Every structure is written in C-alpha cells, then in structure tokens.
Amino acid sequence: MQTSAALNRIQPSATLAMTSRVFELKRQGIDVIGLGAGEPDFDTPDFVKEAAIEAIRAGKTKYTNVDGTPELKQAIIAKYGRDNGLAYAENQISVNSGGKHTLFNAFCATIDPGDEVVIPAPYWVSYPDVVEFAGGTPVFIAAGASEGYKIKPAQLEAAITAKTKWVVLNSPSNPTGAAYSAAELKALGEVLERHPHVLIYADDMYEHILYDGFEFATIAQVCPALYERTLTANGVSKAYAMTGWRIGYAGGPAWLIKAMGKLQSQSTSNPSSISQAASVAALNGDQSFLKERVAAFQGRRDLVVSMLNQINGMHCPRPEGAFYVYPEFGQLIGKTTPKGQVIATDEEMVGYLLDEARVAAVHGGAFGFSPALRISYATSEALLTEACGRIQEACAALR
C-alpha cells in the first residue's frame, strides 16, 4: 500500500514535531523547557470561555453555515473595519478551523500544477508544504538578520513570473517577529500593482502582538488597488490565546471566498459552532486585556534578546512583534561539543540544546533560513531566564 504523491510531497510540521517531543520528555519526568511551541502561555480570557459555555447551554451545538455563522461574520466585518479600515460584505468573509485551515482552503482552491507561490524566507513552516500539497511550486526570497528579515521591492520584482499565483506576506512574522511598516508595505505593493495576475495572501495572525508603539499595517489597507486580489487572513489563536479552539478567518474577493467554502463543504464543513460563538465574544468584547499581555511579551522579548546576545557567536535581532526571536549563529557551526560531536547544522545545534541543556527550540532549516534557531518566548520570565542561562552555558562549552 502506498500513500499519495501529494502526501509524499510534504513533511510533518517541524514545530508540532518538537512540541510532541517535549510532551514525551516531560512525561518521562525530564526537566525540559519547551520554547518550541507557537502558542501564548496565557489562558483564553474568561469572558470568551463564558460565551462558549453559554452557547452550549443555549443549544448552539448543531451544524452552522459552512463558512461561518452570520454573527461571527458580522463580528469579523466589524473587526476589519475598526482595526484595518477594510470594508467587507458577508460573502467576502470565510471562517475556517484555524488559520492553517484558511491557508489550506485558499491554496488548495486556487493552485494548479506549475503555479508558483512567492514566499519570503524565513517563513512559517506551513506555507511551502501547503503549496506543494496543492501541486504548486514555492519560490523563496531570502532576507536575513542584516535585512531585518524583510524582503525588498527589487527582490519581489525579480521573483514574480508569469506563473506566479500568490505572494505571501506575513507581518509580524512567524518565525522572526519582523513586521513591515506601512511605508515598507506600500513599496512592496507598488511592485504587486504592476502584476495584476498575482493574488496576495496577507497573514496577519500576529496583528495585535507588536511592541514599542509599532503601528500595524496590512497591504489591502495600504494599497487599496490590491484590495480586489488580496486575502487578508487572521484568527483568534494568538491574540486571544485560543489556539485549541481552532478558528481562523479571512476577508477577500467573493469568488475566492466562495471557492474556499466549496472545498470546506466537502472536507471539514463548518468550524465548531461553540468555538464560533466564543470567537464572536472575543472579537466584539473588551480588548483592553491585550495591552497587558503585549506588555508582558515585550518584557520577555527584551530579556531573551539581551541574554542571547551575550553568547559569543550568536546574533539575535530585536523583533518588532509576535513572540519569537530568530538568532543566527553561523560562528558556532563547526564547533565541537564536550562529548566530541561536531555541530555541522542548526538541526544538530537544536539536538545538542535539547540533549544537553534540556531546552527545546526549532532549527532554522524548518523555516528555510539557516543556521538559526526559532525560540518562542511565550512563557514566564523565570523559565526564560533559566532556559537562556542553559543555552549560554551549552554554547560556552563548545570548542
């Protein structure tokens, strides 16, 4: 028996694989600090939980419209208007079972063999795999720490061909935390305006997690000429600490939203009715709790950046948003561990840190940019201090 060619083209998610490894080590009673998972350590706000409980009591436990209840679509429309100055009708909104599902629907509904998708690297692990699953070809644009992990308009221009179906823009970024300003997006948008056959996937999942007063911008807002061919994707997972509830959503052209709904109608059907009710409360409710959480994340970012930059051979840029840092460590490649192992790749570095320092991170190779590590700092300052201390010691022990 054989699995399909489409399945064979993809890899299991490296970030989820590391999360499972950490669960397993912890189950064995090993003191490992997990900095691999991309989820806030905060709990879902109580008012959101209450809305879910109320939905269950009120019998909202049945199938809903395939791509979202009217109540949730209205809450999303209000959110896009309030936060992004974007106007959508209900037939321009798709609600899915998590942000990853939004991506899956959008790409599987539109990509044919031979189509290219331009992806800035480092990238979120799922973009290339979903493109490959759909039969397309990822085309990468590399931007390292010295470029602030942000691509330039000339690079974008050079990457677009007649075969380009989508360009992905993710700001703030997973895995680097880098965010594009309105001016930077406008400059990229001017390139995109010259290529009317290209769709734009704006992944705004970390919109609310920005530091030092950095102002969020999204491309359809900054370049209204691109509104007609941009899918502005978002979700409740990160901002509202609702990763387990599985609700993602997007606003875009009606034809694309309809196509995504058609695919969803034959795969998952509607997202959980209870999670949708909870998401209505999240989006319509008091957003003030976010400020406190973002302030906590900012303190953790500063702690981690400062401790990692104390390591000889490691360079950790200070990101504008999200809850990840992406230190580069080219100078540590080729060094030898106390047990005599030569660290030849970032994957081996991650293995060394897990085995010897008992700290779990994810290797840069998983995000298409090496040698580097992604560290998620969505955990307490005490644990972060301990983890970074262990990484410092492990790196100092390399010869």
Ligand X SMILES: Cc1ncc(COP(=O)(O)O)c(C=O)c1O
List residues near ligand X by CB under 6 A. Answer: 38, 98-100, 124, 170, 174, 203, 205, 235, 237, 243, 248
Q: Which is nearer to ligand X, 86 or 322 (CB)?
A: 322
Closest approach, Cβ 141 to ligand X, in A, equals 16
Q: Which is nearer to ligand X, 203 or 328 (CB)?
A: 203
Rounded CA separation 248/279 (Å) = 10
Q: Which is nearer to ligand X, 240 or 352 (CB)?
A: 240
Closest approach, Cβ 69 to ligand X, in A, equals 18
Q: Which is nearer to ligand X, 99 or 189 (CB)?
A: 99
Closest approach, Cβ 267 to ligand X, in A, equals 15
Q: Which is nearer to ligand X, 172 or 307 (CB)?
A: 172
CA-CA-CA-CA torsion sign (135, 136, 137, 142): negative
Rounded CA separation 103/19 (Å) = 21
Rounded CA separation 17/333 (Å) = 23
Closest approach, Cβ 237 to ligand X, in A, equals 4
Closest approach, Cβ 230 to ligand X, in A, equals 16
Closest approach, Cβ 295 to ligand X, in A, equals 21
Closest approach, Cβ 282 to ligand X, in A, equals 13
Contact in structure between 209 and 177 (CB atoms under 8 Å): no
Closest approach, Cβ 124 to ligand X, in A, equals 4
Q: Which is nearer to ligand X, 243 or 284 (CB)?
A: 243
Closest approach, Cβ 334 to ligand X, in A, equals 31
Q: Which is nearer to ligand X, 132 or 332 (CB)?
A: 132
Contact in structure between 99 and 205 (CB atoms under 8 Å): yes
Rounded CA separation 135/140 (Å) = 16
Q: Which is nearer to ligand X, 37 or 55 (CB)?
A: 37
Q: Which is nearer to ligand X, 172 or 317 (CB)?
A: 172
Rounded CA separation 32/219 (Å) = 40
